[in-house]
Copies of this chain bind each other. A is one copy, B any other.
Amino acid sequence: MTTMRDVAAAAGVSPMTVSNVLAGRTNVSEETRRRVLEVVERTGYRVNTAAQSLRRGRTGIVGLAVPEVHSHYFGLLAARLIARLAPEGLRVVVEQTGASREGELAAITASRVSAYDGLVLSAVGLDPDDVLAIAGDLPVVVLGERQDVRRFDHVEMANTDGAAAATRLLLERGCRRLVALGMPDLAALAPSDDDGPRPQGPGHLGDAFRLRALGVRTAVDAVPGARALAVSGVRSTLSGGAELAREALAREPGLDGLVCATDTLAIGALRALADAGRRVPDDVLVVGFDDVADAAYTVPSLSSVSPGHDWMVEETTRLLLRRMADPAAAPERSTSPFSVVERESTRRLLRTPDAT
């Protein structure tokens, strides 16, 4: 192993000067710099990042804890975040939490986390208190979920509004028998006559899907004669989507519209609908959430709520860097703008909508 000391000796300078050269500091003569770089080149010397981290107190690594690495949405998110943080000199370690409280705890826990300069947490099962207790003073940005986490920086999706907009699209196309696929039971949510779209719930982080369900309900409640059934399931997987769609068909045979909690579920559902001989969009309209890359390439292509990926990644990065720079900064939160991207899966009028 070549060390900085070795390089210094070979170049006839002190380790400190080698350090200065490699860090690009300006207080080195051109001649010395050249000589040092020549030795570095020749010996293939690399700085030891462990020593560097110890001395500097920073590792240059950011953790990204997501429920499932291998899902359309989180794959997209990870790829974008990796690309975005690279020029900031930060690398990303992806931790898989398996959508469980235990997994999330394990991901944040103890030794692991101390290796990170920051953590981006897409939590599903955790309490804010869990996070607080374990993360300690680690900069944390919470992603896309819970609405009342005021102690953390927080980048939220327009879960409720996005789902409501998607649902309205189906209703405008004439759908009246909706299923909210992969969302919690709508009836179990806060009553629709309370004064806002925020359920008061037990305060855990994992209610993106609950908020989406609320959006569906809000939109459906506004249209007399329309109804929505929730067919619930936790994991957002292709097979889960297919399975839930089969269940939906069994429980709501007159089904004419499917609002899916994620695009992954929607893609699985498209497959199950094809198996069942239901044509999309001729018999059933389908809309997803996330606007993943695949949505534009399914057959039929999938309408979806686009959460503004660029914006989310940019905002996440901004908050993370800000907190890393200033741990005492007041927590900030923001909600991504969204849009409904319409594609083939909703491009059909099932019946003329009633005058409203």
A residues engaging B (CB < 8 A)?
44, 46-51, 53-54, 57, 59-61, 68-70, 75-76, 78-80, 82-83, 86, 91-96, 110-115, 136, 238, 241-242, 267-268, 270-271, 274, 293-294, 296-299, 301
Q: What's the number of copies of this chain in the assembled complex?
A: 2
A297 touches B267 (CB 8 A): yes
Q: Which residue of B lies closest to A272 (CB)?
A: B297
In the complex, how many angstroms separate the beta carbon of A45 from the nearest chain B beta carbon? 9
> Chain B: which residue is nearest A238 at the CB level?
B297
Q: What's the Cα separation between A297 and B275 when bound, in Å?
A: 10
A70 and B59 contacting across the interface, CB-CB below 8 Å: no
Known: A114-B47, A299-B270, A299-B298. A238 touches B53 (CB 8 A): no
- Residue from B46, B59, B110, B271 in contact with A301 in the complex, judged by beta carbons closer than 8 Å: B271
Determine if B79 and A49 form an interchain contact, defined as CB atoms under 8 angstroms apart.
Answer: no
Q: Is the CB of A115 within 8 A of B50?
A: yes
Residues of B within 8 A of A268 (CB): 297
In whole angstroms, how far apart are the Cα atoms of A82 and B97 in the complex?
11
A125 to B294, CA, bound (A): 27
Docked-complex contact B115 and A96, CB < 8 angstroms: no
A48 surroundings in chain B (CB, below 8 A): 54, 114
A75 — nearest CB in chain B belongs to which residue?
B75
Q: Tell whether, in the assembled complex, residue B111 and residue A82 are in contact, meaning their CB atoms are under 8 Å apart.
A: no
- Of B59, B76, B267, the residue contacting A294 (CB under 8 A) is B267
| With A53-B53, A136-B44, A299-B299 as contacts: A96 and B79 at CB distance below 8 Å | yes
CB closest chain-B residue, reference A115 = B49
Contact A294 B79 (CB under 8 A): no
Contact of A69 among B78, B115, B136, B274 (CB under 8 A): B78
> In whole Å, how far is A294's beta carbon from the nearest beta carbon of chain B?
7
Contact B238 A93 (CB under 8 A): no
**Contacts A50-B54, A91-B115 given; 18 further ones with Cβ under 8 A?**
A48-B54, A50-B57, A69-B75, A69-B78, A69-B79, A70-B75, A82-B94, A83-B96, A92-B93, A93-B93, A238-B293, A238-B294, A267-B294, A267-B297, A270-B297, A271-B296, A271-B298, A298-B299
Residues of B within 8 A of A82 (CB): 69, 94-96
Output the least CB separation between A266 and chain B (Å): 10
Residue contact B297 to A46, C-beta cutoff 8 Å: no
With a CB–CB cut-off of 8 A, which chain B residues contact A51? 54
Give me 12 A-to-B residue pairs in the complex whose CB atoms sit less than 8 angstroms apart, sorted by A's number.
A49-B59, A49-B114, A50-B57, A60-B115, A61-B93, A70-B80, A82-B94, A83-B96, A93-B93, A268-B297, A271-B296, A271-B299
Known: A75-B75, A93-B92, A96-B83. A238 touches B54 (CB 8 A): no
Q: Which residue of B has the minimal Cβ distance to A134?
A: B44
The distance from the CB of A64 to the nearest CB of chain B, in whole angstroms, is: 10
CB distance from A347 to the nearest CB of B (A): 14
Is A50 touching B46 in the complex (CB atoms < 8 A)?
no
**A243 smallest CB distance to B (angstroms):** 12
